[in-house]
Amino acid sequence: MKAISVSNAVYIEGYKLEVVFNDYKKQVVDFSNFFKTHSHPQYNKYKKPENFRKFKIENGNIVWGKDWDMIFPVYDLYHGKIEVKE
């Protein structure tokens, strides 16, 4: 069985991305709740739409920043829900 990874992602609007996985599944993921509940300088800069849109796909993950400032579990992305844990 092949591990699930991100093949592509497209910005939709606000904090939403359409994510395509290596099994061709497409999922719309809304990151709004994450930004509402997590305040940290490392994440706050991505609250600006122009910065949020600057994601990239590396090693099957969606990442933000040169040093992967922000990354989410592929499992959560695949299921379309970012788990907000304290």
The model's pLDDT over 52-69, given as tens digits with 9 standing for 90+, comes to 999 999 999 999 998 899
| Residue given tokens 């996985």 in the structure block | 21
- How much is the pTM? 0.90
| Domain range summary for the chain, segments of one domain joined by + | 6-78
* Collapsed DSSP state (helix, strand, coil) of residue 11: strand
The model's pLDDT over 20-38, given as tens digits with 9 standing for 90+, comes to 999 999 999 999 999 988 8
Encoded amino acid at 61, one letter: N
* Contacts with 51 (C-beta within 8 Å, 6 or more apart), sequence order: 45, 64
Q: How far apart are CA 66 and CA 43, in angstroms?
A: 13
Looking at the structure, give the CATH architecture of the domain made up of residues 6-78.
Answer: 2-Layer Sandwich (3.30)
Burial class (CB in 10 A: 0-12, 13-18, 19+), 58: exposed
Dig out the tokens for 46 from the structure.
Answer: 């991505």
Which pLDDT band, with edges at 50, 70 and 90, does 70 fall under?
very high
Residue 1 has pLDDT above 70, yes or no: no
